[in-house]
Amino acid sequence: MAKEVIVSAIQASGNVHIGNYIGAIQQFVKLQDKYQGYFFIADLHALTEPQDPEKLRKQILDSAALYMACGLDPKEAVIFIQSQVPEHTELGWILNTITPLGELERMTQFKDKSKKRKNILAGLLNYPTLMAADILLYDADLVPVGKDQSQHLEFTRTVARKFNSKFGVTFKEPRALLKKEGALIMGLDNPSNKMAKSAQSPNNYIAILDEPNEIQRKIKIAVTDSGKEIKYDPVKKPAISNLLIIYSAMSGKSIKNLESKFKEKTYAEFKSSLADLLVEKLSPIQKEYKRLIENKGELLKVLNNGKEQAQKVARTTMLDVRKKIGLLCE
């Protein structure tokens, strides 16, 4: 029996942080044995923000190396770069032609980001149709998503239904694979906002490639709550609850176990232990990342193999799509 297919991605837009790792990459690693995975570096999506070309090229390779350093195995999953499979943009354009403008303008991400910009570019508006193409190309059964991406996945399901109704059954309607605990890691400097590479303060997040002394410093100054009890309570103690989620995800220990372990400890002792844990867990990832970056030929070979595997599936999908919408295929 064939494995179900999952598809997901990471943008090539800066340092990958522990929020990305806990909320996404850690989950991908666990899923790659059970499912046929397609994991790609979303460099085209990164272009919705201004990019320095040289920096972007570096970030694409950095992201790929980090994927693999974190445990994604090219023998188990297909790892590739989005822009190297042109069928993504072709299908994205075709989906644009059956998508009403109002549907795109109602997307929460578009509304939120457009408020912060004077000049709104079409790429931001059309982000959801490209994301839908990313998913539908590979006949995905499941898409690991956080709550902030759920609306985009629902849009993907909607546009798949619309295409199927108009041109005949072509695409599956992918289901969301939501991670409950730890799906959204909040900022170390403000537990009411999510951990983000775009945060104004670098103290908001811990990058996977942060040096040990930097990890120690950021955890030491991380915001805490009033009182002394180390207890999980997202309403009354959001900062400590966030740190407990991070500790649990990185250690594999339950939050209840951690509450018991640190029952008689101070915030300072708890944070010191968490910092030591992060240094310990991130060290082997950093070493493997360095090895991969220093062996660029090996990294490029993996990405080229991934591109060929992805394109084989994408071409088959697009041949079917072209025939159904009336394009010449000879």
Candidate list 162, 197, 253, 265, residue with the active-site label: 197
- SS3 (DSSP) at 9: strand
Q: Reduce the DSSP state of residue 7 to 3 states and report it.
A: strand
Hey, CA dihedral for 101, 106, 107, 113, is it positive or negative? positive
Region 11-31: mean pLDDT is: 84
- Transcribe 265-285 into DSSP letters: --HHHHHHHHHHHHHHHHHHH
pLDDT of residue 145: 77
58 part of the active site: no
**pLDDT band at 13; cut points 50, 70, 90:** low
Which one of the listed residues 113, 253, 261, 265 is annotated catalytic? 113
pLDDT at residue 183, as a whole number:
63
Out of 29-38, 128-137, 158-167, least confident range = 29-38
Residues 6+ apart with CB under 8 A from 116: none
Above 80 in pLDDT, residue 247? yes
Q: Most distant CA pair in the chain: distance in Å?
A: 73
Work out the number of other CB atoms within 10 angstroms of the CB of residue 114. Answer: 16
Among 172, 179, 194, 218, which one carries the catalytic annotation?
194
Instruction: Assess whether the region 5-178+296-325 and the region 202-290 belong to the same CATH fold.
Output: no
For domain 202-290, give its CATH number from 2.60.120.10, 1.10.357.10, 1.10.240.10, 1.10.10.10.
1.10.240.10
Residue identified by tokens 């410093």 is: 217
Distances (CA, A) of 112 to 106, 107, 195, 250: 10, 9, 17, 31
Above pLDDT 70, what percent of the chain? 96
Take residue 141 and report the two structure tokens written for it. Answer: 């059964």
The least confident of 51-65, 84-98, 107-121, 222-236 is 107-121
List of long-range contacts for 106-115, beta carbons under 8 Å, 24+ apart: 107/151, 107/152, 107/155, 108/151, 109/148, 109/151, 109/152
Question: H-helix or E-strand containing 93?
Answer: helix 87-96
3-state secondary structure (DSSP) of residue 194: strand
Residues at the binding site for L-tryptophan are: 134
pLDDT confidence of residue 167? 97
**Mean pLDDT over the full length of the chain:** 90
Residue 197 a catalytic site member: yes
| 186-217: pLDDT as tens digits | 999 999 888 887 777 888 999 999 999 999 99
- CB distance 104 to 129 below 8 Å: yes
pLDDT in tens, 254-294: 999 999 999 989 999 999 999 999 999 999 999 999 999 99
Segment 33-43 mean pLDDT = 93
The reported pLDDT for the residue numbered 182 is 54
What own/partner pairs with CB < 8 Å and gap ≥ 24 does 241-247 have?
Answer: 241/191, 242/185, 242/186, 242/188, 242/191, 243/219, 243/270, 243/271, 243/274, 245/22, 245/181, 245/182, 245/185, 246/18, 246/22, 246/182, 246/185, 246/274, 246/278, 247/273, 247/274, 247/277
Which superfamily does 5-178+296-325 belong to?
A: HUPs (3.40.50.620)
Residue 9 β-bridge partners: 40
Domain locations in the chain as residue ranges:
5-178+296-325, 202-290
pLDDT at 33 over 70: yes
Give the pLDDT band of residue 95 (cuts 50, 70, 90). very high
Residue positions forming the annotated binding site: 11-13, 19-20, 134, 146-148, 185
The first and second tokens of residue 288, run together, are: 């493997």
Top pLDDT among 182 and 7 is at 7
Q: How many residues does the chain have?
A: 330
Residue 316 parent element (H or E): helix 296-325
| Contact between residue 222 and residue 239 where contact means Cβ atoms under 8 Å apart | yes
| 113 given a catalytic annotation | yes
Q: For residues 277 and 219, what is the distance between their CA atoms, to the nearest angstrom?
A: 11
Interatomic CA distance for residues 93 and 130, integer angstroms = 8
Torsion of CA 28, 110, 190, 51, to 10 degrees: 70
User: Whole-model pTM above 0.85?
Assistant: yes
Per-residue pLDDT at 118: 76
Known binding residues for ATP: 11-13, 19-20, 146-148, 185
